[in-house]
Amino acid sequence: MKARAFSYFRAATIDQALDAHARAGDDARFIAGGQSLVPALSLRLQAPRLLIDITHIDDLRGVRREGGHLRIGALTRHCEMLSELLIAEFAPLLHAVAPFVAHPAIRNRGTFGGSIALADPASEFPAMTLALDAEIEIAGPSGRRRVRADDFFIDLFETALQPGELIIAVYVPLFKADQRFAFDELARRRGDYALVGCGMLATFAGDRVDDIRISFFSVGNTPTRVKGAEAILIGSRLDAGRIATAQGALEGDLAPPDSDEVPPAMRLHLARVLLGRLLGRLGEGA
């Protein structure tokens, strides 16, 4: 199918993009990599009258250190998560996750900011911002603000972004020597959206877990931190007993939706399996 007719505007600055959106109101969409938006337009799931191309805005580009954070520009492509050395060093979880996101040619176009803005509950990167305790910088008609990932994902495809607001960058705390991460997902076919996926970042004091953040995706309307399981693991040496208790806690942390293809009990089972595997790897040094 073909998209409904629309006008196209290529913004050169953040202000131009915001201004164009403010004029067109609900009828406008920003387009970044287009890897989710173009299929939605072709299938006529969406039919805006104006597309505002943000890919030529320099201020949305680039990866750099800023204090204790890595600032990852919204236009950073999925493939750059693999090639950018600063990401490999200071946000290695994102580097490890990128090969699981879609297929190579889609990674050549799709952007980090677009993935976070879309907030597909089956997507890898939104869930990783929770595990990383990242902050999302937003620009809108009323100025700029930073929102913690914990406060960003609200409901199915619903985030703290208001219509007409733009994600500028994502700030990720720099990875430290006493930290370890782990990630994996269970999918029917490589490159497909996962049945269940999970990423985690832990800070160790010797061989004890000092702090841990665990985030699941494809388990409900939003990416989800499992705070019950996290609490059980803090202070532990990730021994088999504690891991089993944490796996048991997932029943309280997660409420997978009804689905014919993957019943809730199966998804919960897969989440337990995945959590056990990843904590095992984390204990071995991941």
Partner 1 sequence: MRGLDEPLLDETDETVRVRFVVNGRKVACEVAPRDTLVDCLRDKLELTGTHAGCEMGACGACLVQLDGRAVHSCLIFAVQADGARIETIEGLTESGMLAELQAEFHRRNALQCGFCTSGMLINAHELLSQTTQPSRDEIRDALSGNYCRCTGYEAIVDAIEAVAKARSDGGGAT
Provide the binding-site residues for ligand FAD, judged by CB under 6 A: 29-37, 39, 54, 74, 101-102, 106, 110-111, 113-115, 117-118, 120, 123-125, 161, 166-167, 193
Please state the closest distance from residue 182 (CB atom) to partner 1, in A: 20
141 near partner 1, judged by CB under 8 A: no
SS3 labels along 148-191: EHHHHEEECCEECCCCCCEEEEEEEECCCCCEEEEEEEECCCCC
- Main-chain phi, psi angles of 106, to 5 degrees: -75, -35
Cβ atoms 194, 94 nearer than 8 A: no
Q: Which of the listed partners (ligand FAD, partner 1, none) does 193 bind, with a CB threshold of 5 to 8 Å by partner kind?
A: ligand FAD
- Main-chain phi, psi angles of 269, to 5 degrees: -60, -45
Q: Which of the listed partners (ligand FAD, partner 1, none) does 43 bind, with a CB threshold of 5 to 8 Å by partner kind?
A: partner 1
- Main-chain phi, psi angles of 259, to 5 degrees: -160, 140
d(CA 119, CA 110): 13
237 near partner 1, judged by CB under 8 A: no
Nearer residue to ligand FAD within complex by CB, 167 or 275: 167
Please report which helix (H) or strand (E) contains residue 9, including its range.
strand 7-10
Q: Which of the listed partners (ligand FAD, partner 1, none) does 18 bind, with a CB threshold of 5 to 8 Å by partner kind?
A: none
d(CA 24, CA 19): 9
Q: Which of the listed partners (ligand FAD, partner 1, none) does 64 bind, with a CB threshold of 5 to 8 Å by partner kind?
A: none
Q: Which range of residues in 46-54, 89-97, 207-215, 229-237 is near partner 1 by CB under 8 A?
A: 46-54
DSSP conformational letter for 77: B
* Stretch 182-221: interaction string toward partner 1, x if CB under 8 A: -------xxx------------------------------
In angstroms, the first-to-last Cα distance of the chain is 45
61 near partner 1, judged by CB under 8 A: no
Chain residues binding partner 1 by CB under 8 A are 1-10, 16, 19-20, 23-24, 27, 31, 34-35, 38-39, 41-43, 49-51, 53, 55, 79, 99, 102-106, 108-109, 189-191
